[in-house]
Amino acid sequence: MDVIEVSISQMRETPACRRVCGVVSLVSGGRNIVLQCDAPIPDTGRSRAALLRDAFRQLDRMPEHRNQAQRPQRKLIAAPQMSRDA
């Protein structure tokens, strides 16, 4: 699976619970996949990365991806500066 575009919106951090949630949109092969994600905030504070990990975890559970003979390799090849949504 080649993800060519990633967008994160409605991102909310809850410091008291150390959780982050948001909507992750992935564009892959002409398909737009939208996932509601929720993850613990890592000690490094990289909330966006935590949401992306949760999005790929959810993709791995989808039947069309889960039944592949070999798990696809994922590599971030470009990360443009993203602004926070209000």
Written as tens digits, the pLDDT of the chain (86 aa) is 667 788 899 999 998 999 999 999 988 777 888 999 999 998 888 899 999 999 989 988 887 766 665 555 555 555 555 545 44
Instruction: State residue 50's pLDDT score.
Output: 92
**Domain coordinates in residue numbering, the chain:** 3-66
Please tell me the predicted confidence (pLDDT) of residue 45: 82
pLDDT value, residue 86: 40
What pTM was estimated for this model as a whole? 0.73
Is residue 56 within 8 Å of residue 74, measured between CB atoms? Answer: yes
